[in-house]
A = this chain, B = another copy of it.
Amino acid sequence: MSYRLLGSILDSASRRAPARAFRLVHHTALMLSVAAVLGITMQSAPLPQPLLIGFVLVVAGFFLVEWLLRLFAAPVLMQPRGRPRARLRYLVSFLGLVDLASASALPAALLLGVPPEQAFAGAILWVLKGMRYAAGFSLIGRVLRNERSTFFSVLVAFAMVLLLAGMAEYLLEGETQPATFGSLPAALWWCIVTLTTTGYGDAIPKTALGRMVAGLVMVLGIAVFALWAGILASGFATEVRRRDFVRTWGLVAKVPLFRALGAGVIAEVARLLRPQRLPAGAALMRKGEPGDCMYFIVEGEVEVALEPSPVRLHGGDFLGEMALITGEPRIATATALGETQLLTLDIADFHTLAGRHPELTGAIEAEAARRRKGATASA
């Protein structure tokens, strides 16, 4: 099997058919095996134990093969490409270690004599393989990294409140309730259960002063929630804006209409457009619907069902602007012929742009007028 084929199958970001098929098999195996592990630890599972055990072992074998293939294909899989020692880097990377553990931990534990139920429970660890495929993780990770110092301060404040309130309840309740507040670790258990507003009810202060401290701890628990939420909300707003801009900027720069306007306008336009990807056969707009946005085609082909004969638009063309200018419904249905990358500009931003850059909307209107004359109307 060649490097290239393996790479195209195992690449977690590829949109091609072999990669998609592999991901489907991988995710199905992962989820079914986790369900099987749950059944193995139950007294009376809905399926017979040997079947479940057999299935989990087969999946472990599959993950072993996957790990070997990823190791072999590391030179074409590891980012950034072209750097030396790709296989070594894969071996010691976090996901590489997760793959290795998923492949080998279960058989190793069974061979070493760990009780079977516990060994199989360890197979739960392979849910970590899912991290390779969750695209939003990197955004969340970046926000947490940007805000780490404030986040850490809240954690330090949380620990201080925990220790001080635990101490207070130990002194106040320790004598009357020795089982639940009789030592500092016990009081800390009460305190974390209360500070996170979990409230199991296994330890409850009884004295008036102890209850006042407890009430304060609960209110501070809410404040910690609120602080984190506030920090993260402001961090997300910044980071999402940044990510969307980078993604859109690359696409906008490919459209000749915008490229002609220079880097300054491209940066501004990129703040307003939203990338959208359509599968083959999907309808962009339908005749008779109200129009609230227009489309720029970056890659792919779109067919507009005009009378008497349909028209095909390609990368660099735009459509749907008539509805924004006249306010009337779409005059034709448009369908993506293959997988198509679009940029959408909604009506609000169209008019903002029209105000600031009359030359741009002028170009759009000129093109639209030219099309209408040439019997190439846009919907």
Cα A151 to Cα B286 in complex, Å, equals: 30
Cα A76 to Cα B202 in complex, Å, equals: 51
Cα A267 to Cα B139 in complex, Å, equals: 28
What are the residues of chain B within 8 A of A221 when measuring CB–CB? 196, 198
A230 near B236 (CB under 8 angstroms)?
yes
B-contact 0/1 string along A96-119, CB 8 Å cutoff: 000000000000000000000010
What are the residues of chain B within 8 A of A153 when measuring CB–CB? 134-137, 139-140
Q: Is there a chain B Cβ closer than 8 Å to A130's Cβ?
A: yes
This chain: how many copies in the complex? 4
| Known contacts A226-B225, A347-B246: A136-B163 contact under CB 8 Å | no
**Residue in B118, B231, B266, B348 whose CB lies within 8 Å of A355:** B266
**Residue in B131, B199, B208, B289 whose CB lies within 8 Å of A200:** B199
Q: Which of A127, A232, A347 has most chain B Cβ within 10 Å? A: A232
Cα A232 to Cα B234 in complex, Å, equals: 9
What are the residues of chain B within 8 A of A218 when measuring CB–CB? 192-193, 196, 198
| Known contacts A34-B163, A124-B164, A140-B154: A355-B268 contact under CB 8 Å | yes
Q: Is there a chain B Cβ closer than 8 Å to A68's Cβ?
A: no
B246 near A38 (CB under 8 angstroms)?
no
B160 near A136 (CB under 8 angstroms)?
no
- A332, chain B: closest CB distance, angstroms: 13
Within 8 A of B (CB), among A337-357: 346-348, 351-352, 354-356
What are the residues of chain B within 8 A of A246 when measuring CB–CB? 292, 346-348
| Known contacts A185-B208, A228-B223, A232-B229: A150-B139 contact under CB 8 Å | yes
Within 8 A of B (CB), among A204-237: 204, 208, 211, 215, 218-219, 221-237
| Known contacts A197-B197, A229-B230, A348-B246: A184-B222 contact under CB 8 Å | no
Cα A230 to Cα B232 in complex, Å, equals: 5
What are the residues of chain B within 8 A of A310 when measuring CB–CB? none
Within 8 A of B (CB), among A254-312: 262-268, 270, 286-290, 292
What are the residues of chain B within 8 A of A159 when measuring CB–CB? 127
- 9 closest A-B pairs (Cβ-Cβ)? A264-B355, A136-B153, A230-B232, A198-B199, A226-B228, A233-B233, A196-B218, A234-B237, A200-B201
- 24 interchain pairs (CB within 8 A)? A37-B184, A38-B183, A38-B185, A80-B289, A80-B290, A80-B329, A82-B288, A127-B159, A130-B160, A131-B160, A134-B152, A136-B150, A139-B150, A140-B153, A150-B236, A193-B218, A199-B200, A222-B228, A225-B226, A229-B229, A230-B230, A230-B233, A231-B233, A267-B348
